[in-house]
Amino acid sequence: MSFTSRQAIRLSDGRELIYFNEEKQSDRAKYADTRHLPPPPPTSQLRYDPLVDEWVAVAAHRQTRTFLPPSDACPLCPSTPSFASEIPAPDYDVVVFENQFPSFSDRIKPDEVTSLTELVPVRAGIGRCEVICFTSDHNGSFGKLAPSRVRTVVDVLADRTTEMSAITGVAQVFPFENRGVEIGVTLHHPHGQIYAYPTVPPRTQQMLRAAGRYRDRTGRDLYTDVLAAERKAGVRVIAENEHWTAYVPAASRWPYEVQVAPHRKVPDLPALSGEERDAFGPLYLDVLRRFDALFGKPMPYISAWHQAVVGEGRELGYLHLQLFSIRRAADKLKYLAGSESAMGAFVNDIVPEKAAETLRAL
């Protein structure tokens, strides 16, 4: 299954919303947004931190974003006669729309850029932030989706990656899902987000540097060799099929971390073949079920698609999904305290081989 039609509308404040319909169905676009929303907030700023050579986004308007609303006021459910949500139609399969409280936006003028001090240049936070709803079922979860719906989601993320990569100034497109209040999720409805960053994020910069040095030294591709080594070692592999392998990285930072990678090197989701897209869902759903079975309750997690950058260094990118949880025991979370938050030095309490063994046995 995938989407067979794609219908874009504008919400009352001008934001774009796109229905991705699994069945040929053309009436969703007819529902108008009946709300009178305020104009979009001022954009965020990017400020350069000279001490660590990184850009930090400052998005003050996000402070007022919707915070754990009651379920009859969920902005991600379809609209009903009594409540107008973000989605005007009475039903949807997969829907994507611009975030009302974006960290980055492409609706601002570059000439608003000002400089803070000579050492701290400021740029406008050009880019785009979208929300993706995986299902209209408020009480569902990604792990409970049918494999056919996962295929649709992959196709939608590929569509969004292609479109958002084309925005002038976008450096990388990052689809991700935060799941669970322990992770800071402010809306329970199953959803993910897509960030189009105006700068290459710090972790990606690190990955590019590491992959570039490895290529210079060996002439080979780093992620290809890491994946081959893990498949050969086997001890940290959780599950695999013809096109994908899920494994616990040997140097995991998080108590439970799994990377899901395609066997063929592709830069991003749009480059996946139909067969590869079909094969992803069953494997990933299997891993998610193991996560939830670990402690017998929904596992809080972050699921992150690492894709190639849009510009320089694109050839170094190897698409992979990074899934990790901060839960280290049934009643304990891993906190990022002094060593991790102030020094970036991670201390993991769970031995990766043990994590893999536990996940495999479930």
DSSP conformation class of 63: G
Q: Which of residues 52-71 bind its own copies (CB under 8 A)?
A: 52-60, 62-63, 67
291 near its own copies, rule: CB under 8 A: no
8 near its own copies, rule: CB under 8 A: no
User: Among residues 4, 10, 14, 49, which is the contact residue for its own copies, using CB under 8 A?
Assistant: 49
Q: Which of residues 258-277 bind its own copies (CB under 8 A)?
A: none
Q: Buried b vs exposed e over 202-213: b needs ≥16 C-beta within 10 Å? A: eebbebbeebee
- Of 86-94, 105-113, 152-160, 207-215, which part binds its own copies (CB under 8 A)? 207-215
Query: In a 3-state reduction of DSSP, which class is residue 315?
Result: helix
Query: In a 3-state reduction of DSSP, which class is residue 283?
Result: helix
Is 26 in contact with 7 (CB distance < 8 Å)? yes
Query: Between 9 and 316, whose beta carbon lies closer to its own copies?
Result: 316
114 near its own copies, rule: CB under 8 A: no
Helices 222-233 and 202-218: crossing angle in degrees, nearest 10, is: 90
CB of 268 to its own copies, least distance (A): 15
Query: Between 97 and 197, whose beta carbon lies closer to its own copies?
Result: 197
Distance (Å, whole) CA 246 – CA 291: 13
Helix (H) or strand (E) holding 361: helix 352-361
- Catalytic residue (choose from 189, 191, 243, 306): 191
112 near its own copies, rule: CB under 8 A: no
- Of 6-14, 18-26, 112-120, 151-159, which part binds its own copies (CB under 8 A)? 112-120
Q: Examine the residue annotation and report whether 263 is marked as an active-site residue of this protein.
A: no
CB of 81 to its own copies, least distance (A): 32
CB atoms within 10 A of CB 76: 24
Q: Buried b vs exposed e over 171-190: b needs ≥16 C-beta within 10 Å? A: bbbbbbbbbbeebeeebbbb
103 near its own copies, rule: CB under 8 A: yes
Query: Between 195 and 244, whose beta carbon lies closer to its own copies?
Result: 195
Query: In a 3-state reduction of DSSP, which class is residue 276?
Result: helix
CB of 220 to its own copies, least distance (A): 11
Query: Between 22 and 240, whose beta carbon lies closer to its own copies?
Result: 240
Distance (Å, whole) CA 145 – CA 348: 31
Q: Which of residues 14-43 bind its own copies (CB under 8 A)?
A: none
Q: Which of residues 294-323 bind its own copies (CB under 8 A)?
A: 302-304, 306, 322
Contacts of residue 119, Cβ cutoff 8 Å, sequence gap at least 6 = 50
Q: Which of residues 323-352 bind its own copies (CB under 8 A)?
A: 324, 328-329, 332-339, 341-352
142 near its own copies, rule: CB under 8 A: no
DSSP conformation class of 357: H
User: HSE on the CB side for 163, CA within 13 Å?
Assistant: 18
Q: Which of residues 153-172 bind its own copies (CB under 8 A)?
A: none
Closest CA to 328 of 253, 246, 255, 224: 255
Q: State CA 6 to chain mean position distance.
A: 21
CB of 270 to its own copies, least distance (A): 19
215 near its own copies, rule: CB under 8 A: no
118 near its own copies, rule: CB under 8 A: yes
User: Among residues 117, 216, 330, 361, which is the contact residue for its own copies, using CB under 8 A?
Assistant: 117
Is 348 in contact with 255 (CB distance < 8 Å)? yes
- Just list the catalytic residues: 191
